[in-house]
Amino acid sequence: MKEQVKGIESYVPEEPLTQVKKRLGLKKLVRLSANENPFGTSNEVKNALLNWNFSEGNRYPDGNATQLRQAIATKLDVQPENLVFGVGLDEIIMLLSHIFLEKGDEVLLTKPTFSEYALHAEIEGCKVVEVPCNTETGGHSFAGMLAKITAKTKIIWLCNPNNPTGVYEKPAAIADFVAQVPAYVLVVIDEAYIHYVTDTKAPSFLPFLDKYPNAVLMRTFSKAYGLANYRVGYAVMAAKLAAYMQAVRLPYNLNALSQTAALAALNDQKFVADSVQKTERERKAWEKFLTAANIKHFHSQANFIFFKYPDAPGLADMLLKNGYQLRRGLAKDWLRLTIGTAADGEKIRELIKTQKRS
């Protein structure tokens, strides 16, 4: 077996909600630790699934996700050949690492960022080179990354907005960066949270993709579309790169129910717009609160907010006892809170005020 695999700690997935509730003896538990959509899923998804032809259960699904592929290609104004689908972005991250990394290569990423990038680099026997984010703004350090590129660098992971900081970078700034990256390095721009960006009208890197054949864009249905359970993510890239991915991926990775759910969700943009609008309103309330309470945080353009608290584990424990689960362990003294409903937000802010007073 691969020697490096022996040293890897397995990812600890979110404990099922019912299990946490039972373990802690809680009546109510709101999970604000996984950046799921607190407003649920579009009703159109339910309708589409109820209309699914159950007599097709014995048939393999459409391995090309033809309808979904065409719908997304049309929406993004790209060719169907530019798209690669995965069982969530998790699978796309694994595939990109599996295909483009060789033992001894290096990947470059921001610290902190989404943990899956480093995990798959380690599985492939690669060195993970971390570049700390700007401590003031939480933004990526583009100059810092450029300085760390070597002949061995093969992938640069750029999460935008970044998880867990929530910080967003404009596509022109990213394009400026990509233009300085050698062509042998793949720059993967993870837009898992791009729908939540409201500071600017055209937030995506997509219009720049044509110009940079070594750039890859990733999107998921798990966040703003509220489909985390269905596991649908995709990448947009040059047809030549996509063909390598298609050759290596499992032929039937997306089952029919996932394809059906994603297509229905895609066709209900009102649900997405509503979710984004409610999130934006609540995100503003959080930023106002944190600023007034003198709690250090980064300006978020995602559906979560990252803040620094003197006794972060203590605060997380207190909130959990009150039925609110936050994400800890991403950076010392910092917590990540998924922006939830306005009612829950108000309650949590009251709880924090009480904790601060005592």
Ligand X SMILES: *Cc1c(COP(=O)(O)O)cnc(C)c1O
Residues at the contact surface with ligand X, assessed by CB under 6 A? 35, 88-90, 114, 159, 163, 190, 192, 220, 222, 228, 233
Half-sphere exposure of 153 (CA within 13 A, CB side): 21
Looking at the DSSP bridge assignments, the partners of residue 111 are: 132
The residue at minimum Cβ distance from ligand X is 88
In this structure, the dihedral spanned by the alpha carbons of residues 235, 240, 241 and 243, taken in order and rounded to 10 degrees, is 80
Nearest distance in Å: CB 88, ligand X: 3
Nearer to ligand X, 191 or 268 (CB): 191
Least Å from the CB of residue 228 to ligand X: 6
Minimum CB–partner distance for residue 234 and ligand X (Å): 9
Least distance in angstroms from the C-beta of 91 to ligand X:
7
- Cα(350)–Cα(358) distance, integer angstroms: 13
Q: Could you tell me what percentage of the chain is helix, strand and coil, using 3-state DSSP and rounding each to the nearest 5?
A: 45, 15, 40
**For residues 169 and 197, is the Cβ–Cβ distance under 8 A?**
no
CB of 357 to ligand X, least distance (A): 34
Q: Residue 122 or residue 190: which is nearer to ligand X going by CB?
A: 190
Closer to ligand X by CB, 191 or 344: give it.
Answer: 191
Residue in the structure block whose two tokens are 């979904």: 68
Q: Which residues contact 115 (CB under 8 A, 6 or more apart)?
A: 11
Report the residue number, 196 or 289, with the smaller CB distance to ligand X: 196
Min dist CB 269 to ligand X, Å, is 19
**Beta carbon nearer to ligand X, 114 or 307:** 114
In order of 48, 98, 122, 302, the CA distances from 3 in angstroms are 46, 16, 10, 37
Based on CB atoms, which residue is closest to ligand X, 278 or 327? 327
* Shortest distance (Å) from residue 233 CB to ligand X: 4
307 contacts 352 by C-beta, under 8 angstroms: no
User: Cα dist. 42→2, 26, 64 in Å?
Assistant: 43, 28, 24
CA distances from 130 to 87, 107, 113, 158, 270 (A): 27, 8, 9, 12, 38
Complex with ligand X: residue 26 or 61, whichever CB lies closer: 61
Which CB sits closer to ligand X, 13 or 251? 13
- Taking the C-alpha atoms of residue 329 and residue 335, their distance in angstroms, rounded to an integer, is 7
Instruction: Tell the smallest beta-carbon distance from residue 130 to ligand X (Å).
Output: 16
For residues 301 and 166, give the distance between their C-alpha atoms in angstroms, rounded to a whole number.
6
